[in-house]
Amino acid sequence: MILRNIIFALSVTLLPAALHASNDTIIIRNDDSTKRIERDLDSLLNNLFIRMSLDGADLSSPGESIAEFSDSVYIDRLGRINSIIKLPYNNIIRNHIHVYTERKVEQFRVMLGLQDYYFPMIEDIFDSYGLP
């Protein structure tokens, strides 16, 4: 009689737990929601990396001026770069150089400050396509 009561008590206690355990599984589907979560986590990591890079970094130097070079200096320096891609110098290239050395200096400094984060990714993409 005691044995029967113990078996009954155990079955009443353990049976619902066993039934509940079979439904205690989280199914992760490979759909847009998981891709969205990955993208959001990537964005958070990126924002954290940028904040850590910029914290305490004084990007501006008082009295600092960017040197102005003649076209012949740019042509000479572009000619010295060891590249399998032809690096011409023209008005378009000159305008881009001036954008990043005069008008968007702060953004260019931030980009250079984040090179350790972004450049390995860019190099991996180039490598996957067999680009130099």
This prediction has a pTM of 0.46
Which sequence spans correspond to the domains of the chain?
73-132
pLDDT tens digits for 43-61?
777 776 667 666 655 555 5
The answer to whether 65 and 130 have CB atoms below 8 angstroms apart is no
Q: Report the chain (132 residues): mean pLDDT per 10 consecutive residues.
A: 65 60 61 73 72 60 71 93 89 90 80 79 90 80
